[in-house]
Amino acid sequence: MRFLLRLSCVLLLLGLMSCQRPAPLSLNLIGTDLSATTLGGDFSLSDQHGVRRSLPDFRGKVVALFFGYTHCPDFCPTTLLEYSSVIKKLGSQADKLQVVFITVDPQRDTTSVLASYMPHFDPGFIGLSGSTADVARVMQSYKVVAQKVALPGGGYSVDHSAGSYLLDREGRARVYEPYGTPVSSLVHDIRQLLD
């Protein structure tokens, strides 16, 4: 009887332990460690080819997630060029990184606009758009802010958060990289998530 009771307790403990989500490994990061936050989460948006994409599509890869827009005169192309350099510096590990650009201007950034924009930086980069409501939900989950600003003579620009996020191979937000983070620092943090 005691044996069965002990066995039941051991099985119960093992069952409870399997229900807990394992704590992320401690990392030696240059960017801001987001491991203890609930930032982020899954999404479903259309890529530049009209294919619906969500985070599980990238499972097994580190994701560099950046929010911007194609008419952006400075922050967005600069950041995408930096990630192009990251791809080159990663060498044989480059296929384990997926750069994902989510528009904050879905009215103008249609799939066809993204299809002509993304290849300027890297053919493997993915651009995502969707309805205004769908994009707003993703922005909210990553605490991204954006606001249209009217331009003299018509049209608008969009002021927006300019940092990027590194997600681990399970899709969890792990690192925030502020705008202007050196390529060497991005490579360092990405390699931390790849190891």
Please give the structure tokens belonging to residue 25.
């490994």
pTM metric for this prediction = 0.85
Of 16-20, 85-89, 152-156, 188-192, the range with the lowest mean pLDDT is 16-20
Which pLDDT value is given to residue 16?
31
Query: What is the mean pLDDT of the segment spanning 47-53?
Result: 97
* Contact indicator for 104, 67 with CB cutoff of 8 Å: yes
**Crossing angle (nearest 10°) for helices 75-90 and 183-194:** 50
Mean pLDDT, rounded, of the chain:
88
The answer to whether residue 68 scores a pLDDT higher than 60 is: yes
The rounded percent of the chain whose pLDDT value lies above 90 is: 85
| Choice among 8-17, 24-33, 102-111 with the minimum mean pLDDT | 8-17
In sequence order, the 6+-apart residues with CB closer than 8 A to the CB of 28 are: 192
Q: Is 44 left (phi over 0), alpha (psi -120 to 50) or beta?
A: beta
Q: Which of 62, 76, 82, 73 is nearest to 162 (CA)?
A: 76
> In whole angstroms, how far apart are CA 134 and each of 15, 40, 46, 182?
37, 14, 10, 31
**Is residue 10 predicted with pLDDT exceeding 90?**
no
Query: pLDDT digit string (tens) for 116-137?
Result: 999 999 999 999 999 999 999 9
Q: Is the pLDDT of residue 2 over 70?
A: no
The C-alpha atoms of residue 69 and residue 121 are separated, in whole angstroms, by 14
Extract the tokens encoding 23.
């704590």
What would the CATH number be for the domain defined by 34-194?
3.40.30.10
Domain boundary assignment for the chain: 34-194
At residue 26, the pLDDT reads 74
For 75-119, write each residue's pLDDT tens digit. Answer: 999 999 999 999 999 999 999 999 999 999 999 999 999 999 999
- DSSP alpha helices (H): ranges in the chain? 2-19, 75-90, 111-117, 132-141, 183-194
The reported pLDDT for the residue numbered 23 is 44
* Of 154 and 24, the one with more pLDDT: 154
Mean pLDDT, range 59-74, rounded to an integer: 96
Residue 51, token pair as written in the block: 């294919």
